């Protein structure tokens, strides 16, 4: 940094077009929103601790689950995965920056101002009490509830506009990532040698480009309905409220893969390094990722089985959903195959990825159960569904994100994280996660619907809810350890050196943190593991390609 | 070990494409995804309006506007070719011809809308036809306007003498956008004025 006074530092971050600084800004913003979204969840869990509790009013509870869901998907998941992609893709392909650095900065600020616009709804007519006048229509804002008739005031408009604005940022980031990967690879970096993370970010970016604009279009229709008196989703004038569900889930289901494919990407880089083996079945992993991306575009209505789909449609969406399970299963098989026979080192990144494997397996299995329409008719909109997607998004995504932060933090900051604190974080978070979300399956099977602000005492749900809420305490303690580990590392962490994990991809060939230009001399690669070739000239990988 | 050349003698990857070309193709892909939702909505609500007026009562095939827009794709191709070959006067003339054709299209759309709104009383809130018609055709017209604005900017720079043959690829990217707007219009015309009536 050129200047040490705080205005100089601030200026260097606000005006930056450097992909590494923007990546760190994305990830940091996402982690801050993760804490905010976590506090909203904790408030809901406090309310559900007792039957007939009156801590939160029903209105505030509705706002909390709406803001929680929206925050976690759009302002936590998206910026963190895009931030890591931003930071890592140019480094991994041996480039000096993204293809469009200024567009990159524009995308970040669109995301941030979109998120702030959404949160501005808190300052609405009812003031700052609890969730203020935040949106209360759920994170998928079904019509006709989100129409003008049932949602007066402007809360819903903040939901529409905040996501719409940050969506522009996501699409620009996706365009940038693909253009970077296609045009900026260093000498020798053919598509067959791309690190798996880059491949997966490529597929993720294509999904963003294909499904984010349709969400924008649907939101524009909703805005037209609300402000200009259009009739897209207005059943009084022949409009169809279910069309919104189709449009939303055409975005909403691929969105799950947009979020979780980067989780796969982190695991695919971390697991080989800490198993000291090459990834098992590289081409199959690439093919499985492409297959997941493709099939995920045709499964959206499995969110809508209870809306009354025709029988052929129900069969199609059941079958297609089960088909997605096949490439996903192949991936889990390959990660386990990578670990099999390896010299596994259970350092913090590897701990999180190992837990991810088991938890994502459970998420996949409950996903297959819910893919069967008759099973879904019983459990749709119950806590079983809540358990399922939190296993995907926390057990799958958040665990790999923590793993990725522990893995690449030394590269980003140049300092090592205290392993004791990281291990406390892992075990507390693991226990908390399991307590909270495995019990939700039971509540769902016992018939507890999602999104209810309280429940009567005679249903037998109370004890399960109390275990669920108890798990939250462990998760909070775990996240506090995480914050402590990061703050401690930033202040007193020992220097990391360029390659603390003895890894194989190009980002570890430059200093930690890398200079602004990444590589003094652009690298040239001859295999999938350029650093292995450098460290083992007697037995380089390229000999076997 | 910092940033050494990692191996030597590896073959160069073929230079696939410039970042501008890839970026524009991807922007076009995302815009296609955006338009396809409005086209799906138009088709889905075709014939479902509860009250009139209906498409076949009002819509005439916009022959002149379609011809203007299709012709403009040709003029912009010739303009880029002129710029690439250093024939700057020819480039400027063809660019302004393209702008004029775009403006003709927008003017004809404005006349059509004036007729629909003030003579036939069809607005966005009249019925499902009005809702889907104005949003689909309107978003297309907005994209035509954006294209005209981009070309006006290039035209202004060209008049000031700032556009030279080495900028041909950038101008060509604007022309790709313009072709895309044209292709969307073919889809819109087919759906709204042919299938829809």
Contact status, residue A231 vs residue A237, Cβ threshold 8 Å: yes
- pLDDT at A129 exceeding the cut of 80: no
Q: How many CB atoms lie within 10 A of CB A203?
A: 23
Cβ within 8 Å of residue A317, ≥6 positions away: A299, A300, A301, A302, A305, A309, A373
Q: Is the pLDDT of residue B14 over 70?
A: no
Q: Where are the beta strands (DSSP E) in A42-194?
A: none
Subunit contact B12:A187, Cβ cutoff 8 A: yes
Is residue A105 predicted with pLDDT exceeding 80?
A: yes
The model carries a pTM of: 0.94
Chain B residues with CB under 8 Å of A540 CB are 7
pLDDT confidence of residue A130 = 46
**Which residues neighbour A534 within 8 Å (Cβ) at sequence distance 6 or greater?**
A509, B1, B4, B6, B7
Residue located via tokens 């994100």? A401
The confidence band for A134, taking pLDDT boundaries of 50, 70 and 90, is confident
pLDDT for A4 equals 66
- Residue A159: pLDDT over 80: yes
Return the pLDDT at A444: 96
* Residue A368 in tokens: 């297959």
- Rounded to 5°, the CA angle B28-B90-B105 comes to 50
Residue A470's nearest CA partner among A44, A75, A46 is: A46
Tell me which residue of B156, B117, B159, B162 sits closest to B138, measured CA to CA. B117
Indicate whether B10 belongs to any domain: no
A contact test, residue of B37, B42, B138 with most A CBs within 10 A: B37
- Structural domains counted in chain B: 1
The residues that bridge with A382 in the sheet, in sequence order, are A449
| A524: chain B residues, CB-CB within 8 Å | 5-8, 10
How far apart CA A444 and CA A149 sit, in angstroms, is 32
pLDDT tier at B8 (50, 70, 90 boundaries)? very low
B7 lies in some domain = no
pLDDT grade for B197, boundaries at 50, 70 and 90:
confident
DSSP B118: I
Task: Check CB contact of B169 with chain A, cutoff 8 Å.
Answer: no
**Does the distance separating the beta carbons of A238 and B48 come in below 8 Å?**
yes
Q: In this structure, is residue B1 part of a structural domain?
A: no
Please report where in the chains the tokens 């200047």 appear, as a residue: A3
Residues with Cβ within 8 Å of residue B31, at least 6 apart in sequence: A213, B143, B180, B184
Q: Taking Cα atoms as reference points, which of A287, A279, A257, A261 lies closest to residue A201?
A: A261
| Confidence at residue B45, expressed as pLDDT on a 0 to 100 scale | 96
Is 90 exceeded by the pLDDT of residue B190?
yes
Cβ <8 Å between A237 and B127: yes
Q: Is B14 on the interface with A (CB under 8 A)?
A: no
Q: Decide if pLDDT at B5 tops 60.
A: no
Span A286-339, pLDDT tens digits: 999 999 999 999 999 999 999 988 999 999 999 999 999 999 999 999 999 999
Q: How far apart are CA B113 and CA B68, in angstroms?
A: 18
Structure tokens belonging to residue A201: 């970010």
Return the closest-CA partner of residue A186 out of B22, B7, B25. Answer: B7
For residue A228, the number of C-alpha atoms closer than 13 Å in the C-beta half-sphere is 18
Please give the residue that has the higher pLDDT: either A113 or A6: A113
The percentage of residues in chain A with a pLDDT greater than 90, rounded to a whole number, is: 92
- Between CA A292 and CA A325 the distance in angstroms is 8
Closest listed residue to residue B103, CA positions, set B131, B75, B145, B48: B145
Contacts of A338 (CB under 8 A, 6+ apart): A271, A272, A275, A277, A278, A279, A280
d(C-alpha A124, C-alpha A131), whole Å: 10
The partner residues of A187 in beta bridges, in order of sequence, read: A524
| Contact flag A237-B128 (C-beta cutoff 8 Å) | yes
Tell me which residue range forms the domain holding B182: 19-195
Residues near A270 by beta carbon (within 8 Å), at least 6 away in sequence: A349, A350, A353, A400, A403, A404, A407
A417 pLDDT band, cuts 50/70/90, is very high
How close does chain B come to A489, measured CA to CA in Å?
23
Tokens of A470: 């108890």
Of A5-9, A127-131, B22-26, give the lowest mean pLDDT range.
Answer: A127-131
Residues of chain A contacting B22 with CB distance shorter than 8 Å: 99, 178-179, 182-183
pLDDT single digits (tens) A27-70: 999 999 999 999 999 999 999 999 999 999 998 899 999 999 99
Please give the mean pLDDT across all residues of chain A: 94
| Cβ-count burial A30-56 (b if 16+ within 10 Å, e if not) | bbebbebbbebbbbbbebbebeeeeeb
Query: Which of A19-33, A259-273, A309-323 is predicted with the least confidence, judged by mean pLDDT?
Result: A309-323
Residues belonging to chain B: 197
Residue B4 lies in a domain: no
A524 beta partners: A187
Domain assignment present for B5: no
The residue of B131, B137, B143, B170 whose CB has the most chain A CBs within 10 angstroms, and thus the best one to mutate to test that interface, is: B131
pLDDT at B2 over 80: no
Q: Which pLDDT score, from 0 to 100, does residue A346 have?
A: 97
Q: Using one digit for the tens of pLDDT, what is the confidence trace for A206-235?
A: 999 999 999 999 999 999 999 999 999 999
pLDDT (tens digit, 9 = 90+) per residue, B95-124?
999 999 999 999 999 999 999 999 999 999
| Per-residue pLDDT tens over the stretch A354-399 | 999 999 999 999 999 999 999 999 999 999 999 999 999 999 999 9
Instruction: State the pLDDT at residue B62.
Output: 95
B158 located within any domain: yes
Mean pLDDT of A188-195: 96
Q: What is the pLDDT of residues A338-347, one digit of tens each?
A: 999 999 999 9
Average pLDDT, chain B: 91
Q: What is the pLDDT of residue A133?
A: 80
Predicted local confidence at residue B7, as pLDDT: 43
Q: What is the CATH number of the domain that holds B26?
A: 1.20.120.80
Q: How far apart are CA A307 and CA A303, in angstroms?
A: 9
Confidence band, pLDDT 50/70/90 cuts, at residue B16? low
Contacts of A218 in chain B (CB under 8 A): 37
pLDDT of residue A433: 98
* Chain A closest-CA separation from residue B10 CA (Å): 6
Chain A residues with CB-CB distance to B18 below 8 A: 183
A204 to each of A133, A360, B33, how far by Cα in Å?
A: 34, 18, 16
Is the confidence at residue A128, as pLDDT, over 80?
no
Distance CA A349, CA A458 (A): 44
pLDDT at B12 over 60: no
Q: Which carries the bigger pLDDT value, residue A390 or residue B5?
A: A390
Q: What is the DSSP letter of B189?
A: I
CA nearest to B30 within chain A: A209
Nearest-neighbour CA in chain B from A374: distance (Å): 28
The owner of tokens 């469009």 is A100
Residue A420's Cβ-count burial label (10 Å; 0-12, 13-18, 19+) is exposed
Q: What is the pLDDT of residue A132?
A: 57
pLDDT at site A544: 86
Q: Does residue B152 fall inside a structural domain?
A: yes
Nearest Cα of chain B lies from the Cα of A13 at a distance, in angstroms, of: 25
Nearest Cα neighbor of A92 from A409, A410, A507, A500 is A507
Crossing angle of helices A155-183 and A58-70, in 10° steps, is 10
């Amino acid at each position: 940094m050129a200047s040490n006074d705080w205005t100089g530092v601030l200026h260097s971050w606000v005006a930056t077009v450097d992909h590494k600084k923007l990546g760190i800004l994305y990830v940091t913003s996402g982690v801050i929103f993760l804490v905010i979204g976590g506090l909203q969840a904790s408030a809901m869990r406090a309310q559900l601790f007792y039957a007939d509790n009156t801590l939160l009013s029903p209105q505030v509870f509705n706002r909390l689950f709406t803001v929680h869901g929206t925050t976690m998907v759009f302002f936590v998941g998206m910026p963190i995965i895009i931030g890591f992609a931003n930071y890592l893709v140019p480094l991994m392909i041996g480039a000096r920056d993204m293809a469009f650095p200024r567009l990159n900065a524009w995308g970040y600020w669109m995301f941030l101002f979109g998120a702030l616009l959404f949160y501005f709804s808190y300052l609405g007519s009812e003031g700052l009490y609890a969730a203020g006048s935040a949106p209360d229509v759920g994170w998928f804002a079904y019509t006709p509830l989100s129409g003008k008739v049932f949602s007066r005031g402007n809360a819903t408009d903040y939901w529409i506009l905040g996501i719409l604005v940050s969506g522009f940022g996501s699409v620009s980031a996706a365009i940038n990532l693909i253009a970077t990967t296609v045009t900026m690879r260093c000498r020798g970096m053919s598509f067959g040698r791309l690190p798996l993370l880059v491949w997966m970010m490529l597929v993720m970016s294509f999904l963003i480009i294909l499904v984010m604009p349709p969400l924008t279009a649907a939101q524009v229709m909703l805005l037209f309905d609300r402000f200009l008196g259009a009739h897209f989703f207005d059943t009084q004038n022949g409009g169809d409220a279910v069309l919104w569900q189709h449009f939303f889930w055409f975005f909403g289901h691929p969105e799950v893969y947009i979020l979780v494919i980067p989780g796969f990407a982190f695991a695919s880089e971390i697991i080989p390094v800490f198993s000291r083996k090459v990834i098992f079945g590289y081409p199959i992993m690439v093919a499985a990722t492409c297959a997941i991306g493709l099939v995920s575009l045709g499964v959206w209505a499995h969110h809508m089985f209870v809306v009354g789909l025709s029988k052929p449609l129900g069969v199609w969406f059941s079958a297609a959903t089960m088909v997605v399970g096949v490439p996903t299963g192949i991936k889990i098989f390959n990660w386990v195959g990578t670990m099999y026979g390896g010299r596994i080192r259970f350092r913090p990144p590897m701990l999180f990825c190992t837990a991810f494997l088991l938890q994502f397996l459970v998420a996949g299995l409950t996903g297959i159960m819910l893919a069967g329409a008759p099973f879904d008719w019983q459990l749709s909109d119950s806590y079983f569904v809540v358990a399922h997607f939190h296993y995907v998004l926390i057990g799958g995504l958040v665990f790999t994100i923590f793993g990725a932060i522990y893995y690449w933090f030394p590269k980003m900051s140049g300092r090592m994280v205290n392993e004791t604190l990281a291990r406390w974080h892992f075990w507390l978070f693991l226990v908390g996660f399991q307590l909270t979300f495995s019990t939700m399956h039971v509540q769902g099977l016992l018939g507890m619907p999602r999104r209810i602000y309280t429940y009567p005492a005679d249903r037998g749900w109370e004890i399960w809810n109390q275990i669920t809420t108890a798990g939250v305490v462990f998760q909070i303690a775990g996240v506090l350890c995480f914050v402590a580990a990061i703050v401690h590392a930033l202040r007193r962490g020992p220097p990391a050196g360029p390659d603390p994990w003895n890894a194989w991809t190009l980002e570890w060939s430059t200093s930690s943190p890398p200079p602004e230009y990444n590589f003094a001399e652009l690298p040239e690669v001859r295999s999938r593991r350029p650093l292995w070739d450098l460290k083992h000239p007697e037995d380089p990988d390229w000999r076997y390609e | 070990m910092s940033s050494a050349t990692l191996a030597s003698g590896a073959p160069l990857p073929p230079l696939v494409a410039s970042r501008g070309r890839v970026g524009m193709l991807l922007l076009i892909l995302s815009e296609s995804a955006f338009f396809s939702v409005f086209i799906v909505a138009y088709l889905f609500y075709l014939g479902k309006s509860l009250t009139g007026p209906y498409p076949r009562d009002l819509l005439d095939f916009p022959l002149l506007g379609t011809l203007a827009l299709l012709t403009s794709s040709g003029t912009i191709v010739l303009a880029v070719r002129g710029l690439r070959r250093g024939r700057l006067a020819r480039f400027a003339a063809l660019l302004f011809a393209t702008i004029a054709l775009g403006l003709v299209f927008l003017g004809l759309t404005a006349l059509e809308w004036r007729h629909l709104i003030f003579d036939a009383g069809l607005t966005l809130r009249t019925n499902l036809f009005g809702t889907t018609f104005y949003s689909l055709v309107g978003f297309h017209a907005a994209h035509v306007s954006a294209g005209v604005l981009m070309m006006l900017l290039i035209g202004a720079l060209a008049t000031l003498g700032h556009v030279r043959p080495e900028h041909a690829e950038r101008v060509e990217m604007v022309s790709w956008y313009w072709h895309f707007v044209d292709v969307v219009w073919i889809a819109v015309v087919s759906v709204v004025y042919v299938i829809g009536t």
